[in-house]
Amino acid sequence: MLIGLLAAVMATTAAAQEVTEQEVRQVLDSPQVQHQVSVLAKLYDASDFTTLESQLQAFSGLEQEAVRTGLVTYAVESGALDQAKADWLQRQAERTPAYQVVEQGDGYLVTQSAFHYGAKAKSLVRKWQHIQLAAAMVKQAEAGELVLSEWMAGELASQTVRRDIFLEQLPNLSAQAVAKLAAQFTSDSKLLWLPDNAVIAALAAASRDNSVYHLLWRRRSDQFSLAELNRLAELAPATHAIEQLKAATINPSLKRQAYRALITQHPIPVSARDFLAAKLDEVEDGELVAIELARMGYLDWLRQLAEVSRSKVMQNNFRAAMAQQP
């Protein structure tokens, strides 16, 4: 199997000429190559890539690869790109390695490209594309033209990139833009098929729109909805936070954390006390609420409620909480 693997590796790099690391270092450090990089960098700055490529062809193969390496390094250090620069860098990223270095170990061979400018060029282009996409997103959002279900469409990898850009740029959007984006979750059913809760949780937090929060709590929970619940718990006893913690109890996976966040308030706000008291009279969550209240030291209050209540459900929930006491 090892022999087959080595054969496959060698086949993929058959067109590449083998050189030593010392030869690579010598050509990269040579005064002639460094001088040519500084000369051709002016053509790069001017985005004159027709002339640049023409002059690169005048160098021997090894020197040409070294100069390309220097030019990509210069591009990384200078940072600023335009479309022409991005296109040229993309072509560098797609070039087939012309030289390879083979390192021999104890019973194995490791083959790698002699010059690594392709990866650097690819990374720089991706960063530039990220910036361009973010700027376009903000512009569309502020103009009221960003349709989230269309913007987030595509393969999962593309969705993840666009999701992360959206989360980065959301704090920079105006309140009007945020409100328009939030409203799309109640009017565009295609958004319900987003793979996670990152966008809806961020928009709920930014807009404080009750309808968006309602959709968030109805969706299957994940790290993003849990993070929003924890953020609200930190904001409590602010009225908005308390109201959303109450609303989050409809989510089967989040209800315990939501109830605990309400019960750990000192003192428990009046609206939360009324909400919890009403829950004690319910079959579905009453026992859970009773147990959590008893655990946090509210056993006397539970007893008082059970004594004055004629509800068998509440009394059963109180007995369940008592049974959990040490």
pLDDT of residue 12: 44
Residue-averaged pLDDT of the chain: 92
- Residue 83 reports pLDDT greater than 70: yes
- Residue 317 reports pLDDT greater than 90: no
Tokens of 133: 């996409």
pLDDT, tens digit, for every residue of 253-292? Answer: 999 999 999 999 999 999 999 999 999 999 999 999 999 9
pLDDT of residue 103: 81
Q: What is the C-alpha to C-alpha distance for residues 311 and 282, in angstroms, rounded to an integer? A: 10
pLDDT of residue 79: 85
pLDDT, tens digit, for every residue of 36-49? Answer: 999 999 999 999 99
- Do both 313 and 282 map to the same domain? yes
pLDDT of residue 190: 94
What end-to-end distance do the CA atoms of the chain give, in Å? 62
Task: Answer with the one of 99, 124, 149 that is the final residue of a domain.
Answer: 124
- Do both 58 and 96 map to the same domain? yes
- Do both 181 and 258 map to the same domain? yes
- Give 74's contacts (C-beta < 8 A, 6+ positions apart): 37, 41, 44
Q: What is the C-alpha to C-alpha distance for residues 68 and 127, in angstroms, rounded to an integer? A: 20
Q: What is the C-alpha to C-alpha distance for residues 217 and 208, in angstroms, rounded to an integer? A: 13
Q: Which long-range contacts (CB under 8 A, 24 or more apart) does 161-164 make?
A: 161/130, 161/133, 162/133, 162/137, 163/196, 163/198, 163/199
pLDDT, tens digit, for every residue of 166-199? Answer: 999 999 999 999 999 999 998 999 998 999 999 9
Task: Answer with the one of 124, 145, 168 that is the final residue of a domain.
Answer: 124
- Do both 178 and 280 map to the same domain? yes
- Do both 182 and 59 map to the same domain? no
Mean pLDDT along residues 217-226: 97
Which range is least confidently modeled, 91-105, 214-228, 231-245, 258-272? 91-105
> Would the pTM of this model clear 0.95, i.e. be above it?
no
Task: Answer with the one of 124, 158, 179 that is the final residue of a domain.
Answer: 124
Q: Are 154 and 161 in contact (CB under 8 A)?
A: no
- Do both 105 and 9 map to the same domain? yes
Q: What is the SS3 assignment for 99?
A: strand
Q: Which of 133, 128, 143 is nearest to 164 (CA)?
A: 133
- Do both 182 and 100 map to the same domain? no
- The amino acid occupying position 7 is A
Longest dimension (CA), the chain: 96
Q: Are 37 and 70 in contact (CB under 8 A)?
A: yes
When pLDDT is cut at 50, 70 and 90, the band that residue 18 belongs to is: very high
- Do both 287 and 165 map to the same domain? yes
- Do both 113 and 134 map to the same domain? no
Q: What does the DSSP 8-state code read for residue 219?
A: S
pLDDT, tens digit, for every residue of 108-155? Answer: 788 889 999 999 999 999 999 999 999 999 999 999 999 999 999 989
Q: Which of 209, 192, 208, 204 is nearest to 148 (CA)?
A: 192
pLDDT of residue 15: 67
pLDDT, tens digit, for every residue of 59-80? Answer: 999 999 999 999 999 999 998 8
Domains: count for the chain: 2
Kindly report the backbone phi and psi dihedral angles of residue 38, in degrees, each rounded to the nearest multiple of 5, phi listed first.
-65, -35
- The amino acid occupying position 150 is E
Q: What is the C-alpha to C-alpha distance for residues 279 and 240, in angstroms, rounded to an integer? A: 20
pLDDT of residue 122: 97
- Residue 11 reports pLDDT greater than 50: no
Q: Quote the strand ranges of the chain, DSSP E.
A: 17-18, 99-104, 109-113
When pLDDT is cut at 50, 70 and 90, the band that residue 321 belongs to is: confident
Structural domain boundaries, residue 19: 2-124
pLDDT of residue 3: 43
- Do both 240 and 269 map to the same domain? yes
